[in-house]
Structure 1
Amino acid sequence: MKLTTVLALALATPGSALVRFHCSQLVVERLDPLVNPGMVPSAHVHQIVGGNAFNATMDPKADLPAESTCTSCQFEDDFSNYWTAVLYFKSRNGTYKRVPQLGNNQFEKANGGLTIYYMQDPIYESKQTSKVKAFQPGFRMFTGSVTARTLPEALPFRQLTYVCMDSWTQRSPETIAFPTRKCKSGIMTSIRFPTCWDGKNLDSPDHIAHMSYPETGTFESGGPCPTTHPVRVAQVMYEVIWDTTVFKDEEWPVDGSSPFVWSFGDGTGYANHGDYLFGWKGDALQKILDANCHFMTNCSKETGLKLQSIDAMNRCMQRPKVEEDVNGWLNALPGGYHAEYGHA
């Protein structure tokens, strides 16, 4: 889908925002309107947050704020949908159980979900000075590869990582494969989307081609965008906290290998991925990007955009449209998958 008018993003108003906020769990089920539109159930289990207009099929021309009655995100004007695959634990007896999620640091009372960032410059820089424009209605993207089982297959998708947390505040070291040791405070997955846009297409057949990583390095290194994707956009980043501490010692593999597997069978961790479907109301996101603010509270004060309470976020839930057990001890992952392992 193409914009009717090519946006002059290079002339966008300078912004200075770095916004961080949380979205509680909307639903956990096998639906994927991006990769498997109209398929009920979709290929594998996802955990979804955001506006409750989420469905098996989502028209790019739909007005998501108008079609939603609530959002599980803190900003009342954010009816976007953000989703990832679901992490499972494989017990030594070969059965699988979904790893529960926790609210991230400062959001402990949230019903699982994701922490979302929109960044214009590296997160460790206090001044966000780059010129970027908000995504437009109908914009969507995907990053990662569900088929990756080796390090070379994972490397084209930069900065999809894991942290084995020994405390709530730990954010390093990051790995591309699953941690193998027991993590005292759980595992954090981070999904950083590409930051260079072709300036024309709101989507592409694979939901990847209209976006690109910088020509060299990563978003944080400030590498230039390639000529094929000349427009620099804000980096969307997800953080997910998986509570791996709930599994008993006698359930872990005796050989010290990782017991974790994504809901589509990846037992290596290399196939970490995420989906994004833009749905902010009006110019709300642009107001944030143009503001001089950091994180949620300050950005709310600077823009006048309202924040929901965590209780209100937790109340925005959907009843699963696919009736199947995704939570109990299962002989196979929903969809019939079993753990697959590649080589480093």
Structure 2
Amino acid sequence: MEEVMIFVCMVFFVSPIWGNPLVPALYLFGDSSIDNGNNNLLPTLARANFFPYGIDFALASTGRFTNGKTIADYFAEYLGLPYPPPYISVGSSRSLTGINYASASCGILPETGANFGRCLNLRDQVNLFQNTVENDLPVMINSIELSEHLSNSIYVFIIGTNDYISNYLGTKTYQSISFAELLITTISDQVKRVYELGGRNIMISEIRPVGCMPRISRVYPHAGPCVEELNQMVTCFNQRLPPLIKNLTSTLPASNFVLIRSNSIEYDAIRNPSKYGLSDASNPCCRSWGNGTEGCIPLSAPCQDRSRYVYWDGYHLTQTVHSIISSQCISNRSVCSPVTIEDLVKI
């Protein structure tokens, strides 16, 4: 296994427990959509541990790239678990209820995000999970309990957006179809590693409609709210996810793979904001660098009615949209399929 050199700061992470846990743990793999502090101690420009990030979160600016909670936080609350702590900030040995390995600016491919500094790509994250399974968890629970712990826990993958924003669009070295195939092959290999390490309930999210982000759409001012040709390139990847889910479920015994159709919900919120109680689907809520196309300006005052915005900064969603997507995934089989989280905990 490739070694990942990291500094672990031994501090305590406080999270609320919302009820009796429905599963033993929640393990998270991803990018800034669900990073909650891993990048805080990495040598990178991709950080969100300053105001106004976290303005609506009880623990303030933890490193979440939004104003409050993420999809992963809402999943944890529903499951009755503490928010999975970031692996780097607290150390993996501190938690039996899940860990967050997600890293902002990184992606499925190892080269994605390198222009911002150090981050944990998907292979790095799965390497850290392997270390958790082989070295940390056995210290706390016996082998029988460990097997049950891993097989009954839930694993969530929300990653790939950065591969298109900073890799595909930045290098122009791939055709959309070949790039999508590369991403599918790579994420499939890493998901299989999690299965081989004991994971059985695995959720994989679609890539977001990148053509609608303020970061992208403002570069094409005459395209309207979304640059549809850019959304179509992401569709090349997303269309390959249902066959992947079906193949993994049929070939890996006792597995339960779930597709999170987050792209369609986000896109619908952008096109029909009033349907979700939103009013602004094109501007970032916080004052952002680059005329609203980048991250929040430190210590700047954000918009007042944050619940009415789709975008928090030039890239990321507000807590409101995170809540909309997560609530749909918990109970709506057309959003999370073939089973919802509600179904998954009953299997």
Shorter-chain TM-score tier: under 0.3
Query: Higher helix share goes to which structure?
Result: 2
Q: Relative contact order (alpha carbons < 8 A, sep ≥ 6): 1 or 2 greater?
A: 1
- Report the TM-score, using the length of structure 2 for normalisation: 0.27
